[in-house]
Amino acid sequence: MENSIIVIFGASGDLTRRKLILSLCRLFASNLLPEDFAIIGASRSIYTNESFREHLSGAITEESETVRNAWKAFSGHISYQTVDTSDSGNFSELKERIATLAKSHNCGGNVIYYLATPPSLYGIIPEHLKAAGMNDESDGFKRLLVEKPFGYDLASARQLDTRIHRSFDEKQIYRIDHYLGKETVQNLLVFRFANTLFEPIWNRRYIDHVEITGCEFIGVEKRGGYYDDAGAVRDMLQNHLLQVLSMMAMEPPSKINASFMRDETVKVMQCFRPLSAEDLRENLVLGQYTESTVRGEKLPAYRDEPGVDPQSRTETFVALRMFIDNWRWSGIPFYLRTGKRLPTRATEIVLYLKKTPHPFFAGYASENKIVIRIQPDEGILINFGLKTPGAGFETTEVGMDFHYKNLSSGNVLDAYERLLLDAFKGDATLFARSDAVETCWEFIQPVLDYKRAEGSLYGYAAGTWGPLEAINLLKRDGREWRTPCRNLTSEQYCEL
C-alpha cells in the first residue's frame, strides 16, 4: 500500500467527524494505514490546524482505549485548508498544500479526494480539480470517492456521470455504498462459493422465495429537509437493497477482482424484470408513518417532523415484489422492504427453501430458511425441522447460527473502515460502477414516475411493521414476512 494524501471536502460536516476521521483513526490504531500519510480537511469554515483537530477530537472520547491512545500520533497527520468550492481559484492554494505535504510525508503524487459534501457539489469539485491539474496521474494515482446519492433520478444520474467523467476516468471514481462495506455482505461470496453445502441449492430449483429487509426504528431525526426530497425509494431501495440483492444473486466470478466481480453484479441488475403499470399497482406498497406511542414514548407523525412539508406525500416505507429473469432465478419472487419507524433496526436477507415433496412430511416439516444478518448482530442462521421428543412425527423448528461477535480473534472492520482501506489499496470491488448505478436507476424510474403521479400512499402507525398492504403483498401468495428479531426489547438492537 503506497503512501497517500486524503483530502476530505466537506470536512467541517458531521460525516467527517462521526464516521471518516474515526474510521481512519481505527485503521491507524490497527496499523492498517500506509507507512506514512496525510489528511487534509477542506471546507469553507475557518479553522487552523489545531482548532480543526480539536473539533474532531470530541468524537474520540467514546472509542476504545487503543483508539484513544492512538489519537495524538494520528492527529499529527491532520491539517486543514479553507476552500470555497464555488471558487476555482481556491484550488491552487489547496494544490500547493498537497505538494508541500507530499514531500514531508513521502507521498509522491498519490491523492484521494473524498466528497463528503452536499450532492450539489459532486459535479463542481471534480471540474475545479481538473482545472487546477489535480486529476493528473502522471506523478501518482488520483482517486475520487463519491458519497450517495449519485443522482436524483435516471436523468440526473446520467448527467452527473457525464459531468464527472469529463474530469476523471471511470477507474479513478469510487462510488460509495456503505452497505457493501459491511462484513456480512462481503461474506456472501465466501458463504456461497466456498461451500458445496450451499451453492448447489442457491437457485430456482431449491429456493421458494427471497426476502430482503432494511428496517429502522428511528425517524428522520434532523434530516427532514433532505429526506422529504428523497424518500425511502431513493434513500434505501435504489442503492442499498438493490446492490445487496445483486451480490446475493450473482453468478460466481471467474476471477476475484474488482472488474470480474462487478461484471457479475451488473449482469444481475440487467436481468431485473422491468416494472409494469400492473406491478406498480399490485406489487408496490408505499407508506408513511403516523403518530403513535411506543413503549411509553410518543412518536410524531412524519408530517410533524422538523423540515417536513405538512402535506408531504414522501414515502417512509416501501415494499416491492420483483423478479430476476435469468436462468438461476427465473420465476422466484424477491420481496424487498425498507422503512423508518418500524419496530426495530435490522437488515437481513432470508432465503426460503422449497418444502419437501414427500406427502407425509410436507404436512409436518418446519420451513427451512437461511438468514443472513447484515446489521446489527452480524451473522448467519439456518432454520430446519427436527422431530419433537415423544411419540409421532411432530416437528419443531431449530436453528444453527454463527455470530461475528463470537469470533475469538480477528478484527472485523466496519463499513467505512473497509471502504477507506480499499480506497487506499486501489481495490474498487466494493464500490458501485457507473453502469450499475445507471441500471438501478433505470429499474427504479417507473416507481419515481408513479410517485410523481401521486400513486397510492398508505399510512402506518410508528412502531409497526408498515402498512397492512405490505403484509398482504406476501399473504396473497400464501407467505408472510419474517420478524427479524428474537426479541424487541431494544429499538437499537435485536438478536439474530
The pLDDT score that the predictor gives to residue 315 is 95
The pLDDT score that the predictor gives to residue 204 is 95
The pLDDT score that the predictor gives to residue 90 is 78
Amino acid symbol at 394:
E
Q: Write out the CATH class of domain 180-410+433-475.
A: alpha beta
Mean pLDDT by 10 residues, the chain (496 residues): 94 88 92 93 92 88 84 92 82 92 92 92 94 92 92 93 95 87 77 89 95 91 84 91 92 84 92 96 95 88 92 95 97 96 91 79 70 84 80 74 72 82 90 92 96 91 94 94 66 52
Q: Rounded to whole angstroms, how far apart are CA atoms 49 and 56?
A: 11
For 442-452, write each residue's pLDDT tens digit: 999 999 999 99
The pLDDT score that the predictor gives to residue 18 is 87
The pLDDT score that the predictor gives to residue 396 is 74
The pLDDT score that the predictor gives to residue 253 is 87
For 49-70, write each residue's pLDDT tens digit: 999 999 998 888 878 888 888 9
The pLDDT score that the predictor gives to residue 437 is 93
C-alpha cell at 479: 407467505
Q: Which CATH number among 3.40.50.720, 3.30.420.40, 1.10.10.10, 3.90.550.10 corresponds to the domain 4-147?
A: 3.40.50.720
The values of phi and psi at residue 379, to 5°, are 175, -170
The pLDDT score that the predictor gives to residue 399 is 78
Contact 12, 43 (CB under 8 A): yes
User: 138 exposed, middle or buried (CB, 10 Å; 0-12, 13-18, 19+)?
Assistant: exposed
For 248-277, write each residue's pLDDT tens digit: 999 988 887 778 888 999 999 999 999 999
The pLDDT score that the predictor gives to residue 491 is 47
- Any residues with CB less than 8 A from the CB of 455 and at least 6 apart, and which? 280, 284, 286
The pLDDT score that the predictor gives to residue 490 is 44
Domain boundaries, the chain: 4-147, 180-410+433-475
Catalytic annotation, pick one of 165, 178, 240, 403: 240
The pLDDT score that the predictor gives to residue 492 is 46
105 included as an active-site residue? no
